């Protein structure tokens, strides 16, 4: 996707199911949390900070790999894996994203709002 695509630029709907859980696979997670994030035509859903999450994802051009959290913090070298996932559509294009972080601190370095719920 081109950089700086805005979800509200008329390119298509943007609605995602976002999941965060402890573990290495969505098939075997504990403490799983799931929310709905709708960014187009307007920011809403069950995400507690939908508007900020949509803005953050729009600034990344809809590319989850380009998300950045708060300024990098140092994390303990502790392995307690956290998996994040996104499924749905972004500007009308299908999305399926999975990433496993070594621990919750590292996960928070990955995005500021999108997976903060």
For range 77-106, the mean pLDDT: 95
Evaluate if residue 83 carries a pLDDT over 90.
Answer: yes
Evaluate if residue 7 carries a pLDDT over 50.
Answer: no
For range 41-69, the mean pLDDT: 95
Evaluate if residue 104 carries a pLDDT over 50.
Answer: yes
What average pLDDT is seen over the chain? Answer: 89
Residue 61: φ, ψ to 5°: 70, 25
- Per-residue pLDDT tens digits for 46-56: 999 999 999 99
Q: Which of 82, 89, 100 is nearest to 36 (CA)?
A: 89
* pTM of the full structure: 0.86
């Amino acid at each position: 996707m081109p950089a700086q695509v805005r979800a509200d630029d008329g390119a298509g709907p943007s609605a995602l199911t976002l999941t965060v859980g402890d573990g290495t696979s969505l098939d075997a997670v504990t403490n799983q949390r799931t929310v709905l994030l709708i960014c187009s035509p307007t920011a809403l859903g069950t995400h507690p900070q939908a508007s900020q999450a949509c803005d953050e994802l729009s600034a990344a051009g809809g590319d989850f790999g380009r998300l950045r959290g708060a300024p990098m913090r140092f994390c303990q070298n502790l392995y307690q894996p956290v998996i994040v996932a996104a499924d749905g559509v972004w500007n009308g294009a299908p999305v399926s994203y999975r990433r496993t972080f070594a621990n919750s601190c590292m996960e928070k370095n990955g995005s500021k709002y999108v997976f903060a719920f």
